[in-house]
Structure 1
Amino acid sequence: MDMSNLDSTHHFDVVIVGSGGAGLSLALSLPSHYKIAILAKSSLTEASTFYAQGGVAAVLDKTDSIQQHIDDTMIAGAHLCELDAVKQTVEGGRPSVNFLLKHGVEFTLDEDDQLHLTREGGHSQRRIIHAADATGKAISTTLVQRAKEASNLTIFENFIAIDIITLHKLGHIQQDNRAVGLYVLDEQNEKVHTFLAPFIALACGGAMKAYLYTSNPDIATGDGIAMAYRAGCRVANMEFNQFHPTCLYHPQARSFLITEAMRGEGAYLRLPDGERFMLRFDERAE
Structure 2
Amino acid sequence: MKTILITGSNGLLGQKITERLLATGQFNWVATSKGANRYPVTEGYTYAEMDILDPENVKAVIEQYQPDAIIHTAAMTNVDTAEEQQELAHRLNVEAVQTLIELSENHNIQLIHLSTDFIFDGAEGPYDELAAPNPLSYYGRTKLEAEEVIKNSKCKWAILRTILVYGISSDMSRSNIVLWAKGALEKGTPIKVVNDQWRMPTLAEDLADCCLLAVEHDAQGVYNASGKDFMSVAELVHRVADYWKLDKSTITEVSSSTLSQDARRPARTGFILDKAIADLGYQPRSFEEGLALLDQQVLTR
TM over 0.5: no
Greater Rg by CA: 1
TM-score calculated relative to the size of structure 2: 0.27
Answer 1 or 2: higher relative contact order, Cα 8 Å, separation at least 6: 1
The answer to which structure has the higher helix fraction is: 2
